[in-house]
Amino acid sequence: MTESASYSHTEAYQESRMQRDWPQMSTKARKTLVELKQRYNVFSAIYTCTAFVATVVCLPGVLLLYVAVSLSRRFWLRLLEQFHPELEFVRSTSVRSTVDTIRNQGIITVVLQVKGQCDIHLFRTRLQTDMLDRRKNGRFAFPHLRTRLTSLWGWYAWVRSSDAQFNINNHVTMTQPVYTSGFREDINSQKFISEMVSKYICPDHPPWHMLVIPSTDKFYLLIRLHHLYLTEEKLGLGDLLLLQPDMPIWSEEAEDYLEQEQLLAGTFKTPVAMPQVYQHVCESLSNSWNELVSVYDPLENPKVTCSRPSLKSFGMLVAIVVVSTVRTYFRNENGNLGSILRQETQRRRLTMRLFWRSLLLTFHPVVVAYAALRWGWWLVVTCSLQLFRMVLSVPVYLYWLVLGYHVLREVWYLAKVTFVGPKVILQELLKPGDSHHLQTVSLCGRKAVSWSDPVPLEYIHRVHLATGASTCEILMAAVSASLRDYFRYLGFKVPQSVMTTARFVPQEKLLAQSAGSVSREGGLLCLNLPMWVPDEPMENLSLVQSALYRARSNQAPLYLASLFGLDHSVIPRILPSVLARIVLNVLSRRYAVTITQVDGSTPEKKRRRMLWGQEVESIMYWRPPQANISLSLTLMTYGDLVRLGVMSDMQISPQHSVISYNFDKHIAQLATLAGVHRRPSRTSAPVSSSSSD
């Protein structure tokens, strides 16, 4: 069912209600309503135009501020490097680095549940050979895995000499087995893992650690690493987790229920025609350039300088030399532009003598007369043939005409998004919201985790068929109800809504190898999750649908701005560090809950395996909540199961497990009202439970 169909019943209900109320209104009331609507449209247009003009006017000042901040940071960094040559400073700035503190660092946390028993010696050996000793161009691929991280005057730095004290036994450890039975074993494992997550990584060692937790017929693998490994080292979680490439366990074809709607689906209409035109232009330029090089480059065609040169061939040769010089300069990190230019001119015998020779031969009377005859022949004969070819090429011209029409539509859409962008961003960042406990709690920086029982995707798909809501809306409705249970369990006032930031991370990028992709998450939505419906699952689902629809429909500018700001760290680069930290702390206090959906981009049931063949039965991933964010929720899809992972500050632990504990129960309540009964899962994945404590 499409997105528009999922909201048809809501829109139809609103229209029918308006039609019922409309005849009861007097003519005067109708005129008043029309006038108010017109005034609102005029005010909205003025507001939009004013915000856009103000943004354009402020751009030069923002650019000057960026230059001033960049120069001051570069000067300060050079000064620190001179006084501390034993440190290798991290030059890049990011949002996470800006809000990092000693007590609240950005530590990425992943938990794997692996089938069978763990050989800790094999694990250390494979990690040593495949990661620590891996070389690239004669150097270690990930050298900072061996070095200690420190902070000095607001800058992260790697201690150069600390790699001599590195010992893999300090980073890959095994605990005592967690042995109980069935349901109780999973509860104890969750509590133990949460206790390990709450501990800080030893500051005297490199900031990463892998803990093996044996159990009855499986073991848990807890991985914690600093976010700089993903940005600076370009390290992929697939490398550190020692996972094989994607390997399907089931041979059956993918089914419909594996196709889940993404959380950010429909927020921004990705251009289609413009990339096609760009690809065609690049192909044409590439073909033209290759043809030009084959004819006018002396290295490809030595006869070009030996035969009768012209100003045209000389100009082409100059262009070839310039392009080759620029390519070589950017290819070599330590190249000198002047020496490269001299080398290219000597290789292609580009001299002033060739220029004067080309000039004289171009304006020779015989050459001029021959050129006039060629132009006359082209006008009389060739143009006539070109007209005939144009008639035969009408389908090609129609294709480009249609493509050009779609390009104009996409350009208009992008211009509209750009024009209304400042107004949308201001509205989302400044609109009032309900204050709640998660915004006012005092945070300590230590973290606690929990995760829900697995819910089969096939079960959620049947709820989707019965209710008409998308799978994403069903999951978000369960998250909303679980958050409401948290407030009610602690006796706090339940707010009308909770302001959250919502993200989507493809599972392929999350578990990619040597990509650093987790740190480059694409865009976000500011989503107000409704909380005020206490015990009406269907009505709560309808409200969540409306909230998602409004966010996706109105926040395309915010989505693009966040995409650029997160990947390129706009705020930390424009503002001084102190001011950037204040801004980010204020924003994170406002949006104290973050939601991340992790799902595969292809509808396939896949289980990953370790490098030595053991099957990974489940994976949980948490984005670390930093600054004033108190709660990080992850909707993790793995295989054909989905779980809700919760990471919170220790100040709201152990009550945070109420959220994960009630997640699958709210899906079951919604399914019961929709007439859907749960069938046993066909998978062999174990069930992980959490306690409400």
pTM, two decimal places: 0.81
Stretch among 107-121, 212-226, 300-314, 403-417 having the lowest mean pLDDT: 300-314
**Confidence band (pLDDT; 50, 70, 90) for 12?**
very low
pLDDT at 18: 47
Q: What does the mean pLDDT of the chain come to?
A: 82
Stretch among 302-306, 424-428, 472-476, 630-634 having the lowest mean pLDDT: 302-306
Stretch among 2-16, 379-393, 544-558 having the lowest mean pLDDT: 2-16
pLDDT at 359: 78
**C-alpha closest to that of 170 among 217, 221, 139, 207:** 207
From residue 82, give the alpha-carbon distance in Å to each of 72, 76, 466, 570.
16, 10, 67, 28
Cα–Cα distance for residue pair 457/470, rounded to 1 Å: 12
**Confidence band (pLDDT; 50, 70, 90) for 25?**
low
Is a pLDDT exceeding 50 seen at residue 17? no
**C-alpha closest to that of 271 among 417, 403, 399, 411:** 411
Select the more confidently predicted residue: 617 or 362.
617
Select the more confidently predicted residue: 363 or 603.
363
Is a pLDDT exceeding 80 seen at residue 683? no
Cα–Cα distance for residue pair 218/115, rounded to 1 Å: 5
Fold of the domain built from segment(s) 431-510+520-601+624-678: Chloramphenicol Acetyltransferase (3.30.559)
pLDDT at 112: 93
Tell me the Ramachandran region of residue 675: left when phi exceeds 0, alpha when psi lies from -120 to 50, beta otherwise.
left
Token reading at 428: 């989302």
Tell me the Ramachandran region of residue 64: left when phi exceeds 0, alpha when psi lies from -120 to 50, beta otherwise.
alpha
Task: Look at the block and give the residue holding tokens 């300088």.
Answer: 305
Query: What's the mean pLDDT in 415-433?
Result: 88
Is a pLDDT exceeding 50 seen at residue 688? no
Judge whether 95-241 and 431-510+520-601+624-678 match in fold. yes
Cα–Cα distance for residue pair 63/690, rounded to 1 Å: 50
- Which pLDDT tens digit goes with each residue over 169-217? 999 999 888 765 555 667 888 889 999 999 999 888 999 999 999 888 8
Which residues have C-beta within 8 Å of that of residue 121, sequence separation ≥ 6?
none
* Chain centre to alpha carbon of residue 466: 32
Cα–Cα distance for residue pair 124/495, rounded to 1 Å: 49
Kindly give the pairing relationship between strand 172-174 and strand 208-214.
parallel
Is a pLDDT exceeding 80 seen at residue 410? yes
**C-alpha closest to that of 677 among 459, 464, 476, 461:** 459
H/E segment holding residue 450: strand 447-451
Kindly give the pairing relationship between strand 447-451 and strand 497-506.
unpaired
pLDDT at 397: 80
Tell me the Ramachandran region of residue 686: left when phi exceeds 0, alpha when psi lies from -120 to 50, beta otherwise.
beta
**C-alpha closest to that of 241 among 59, 52, 109, 151:** 109
Query: What's the mean pLDDT in 605-613?
Result: 76
At 362, is the secondary structure helix, strand, or coil? helix
The superfamily in CATH containing domain 95-241 is Chloramphenicol acetyltransferase-like domain (3.30.559.10)
662 touches 482 (CB < 8 A): yes
Cα–Cα distance for residue pair 554/212, rounded to 1 Å: 46
What percent of the chain lies above the pLDDT cut of 90?
31
Select the more confidently predicted residue: 303 or 104.
104
Which of the residue ranges 38-47, 305-314, 508-517 has the most confident prediction, judged by mean pLDDT? Answer: 38-47
Q: Percentages helix, strand, coil for the chain, rounded to the nearest 5?
A: 55, 15, 30
- Which pLDDT tens digit goes with each residue over 283-308? 988 888 888 888 888 888 777 666 67
Is a pLDDT exceeding 80 seen at residue 445? yes
**C-alpha closest to that of 597 among 492, 498, 470:** 470
Cα–Cα distance for residue pair 533/495, rounded to 1 Å: 10
Is a pLDDT exceeding 70 seen at residue 156? yes
From residue 28, give the alpha-carbon distance in Å to each of 24, 32, 242.
12, 6, 73
Which residues have C-beta within 8 Å of that of residue 234, sequence separation ≥ 6?
514, 515, 516
Domain boundaries along the sequence of the chain: 29-78, 95-241, 272-411, 431-510+520-601+624-678
**C-alpha closest to that of 323 among 374, 355, 288:** 288
Stretch among 277-286, 581-590, 598-607 having the lowest mean pLDDT: 598-607
Is a pLDDT exceeding 70 seen at residue 627? yes
Stretch among 49-58, 591-600, 603-612 having the lowest mean pLDDT: 603-612
pLDDT at 565: 67
- Which pLDDT tens digit goes with each residue over 554-586? 888 888 888 776 655 788 888 888 898 999 999
Kindly give the pairing relationship between strand 631-638 and strand 593-599.
parallel
Which residues have C-beta within 8 Å of that of residue 294, sequence separation ≥ 6?
300, 301
481 touches 534 (CB < 8 A): no
348 touches 317 (CB < 8 A): yes
113 touches 607 (CB < 8 A): no
pLDDT at 639: 83
Cα–Cα distance for residue pair 443/459, rounded to 1 Å: 37
**C-alpha closest to that of 624 among 606, 641, 646, 652:** 646
Cα–Cα distance for residue pair 457/257, rounded to 1 Å: 6
* Chain centre to alpha carbon of residue 279: 24
Token reading at 525: 């939505």
**Confidence band (pLDDT; 50, 70, 90) for 136?**
confident
Query: What's the mean pLDDT in 648-672?
Result: 91
What are 219's strand-pairing partners? Answer: 114, 214
Stretch among 143-152, 208-217, 383-392, 542-551 having the lowest mean pLDDT: 383-392
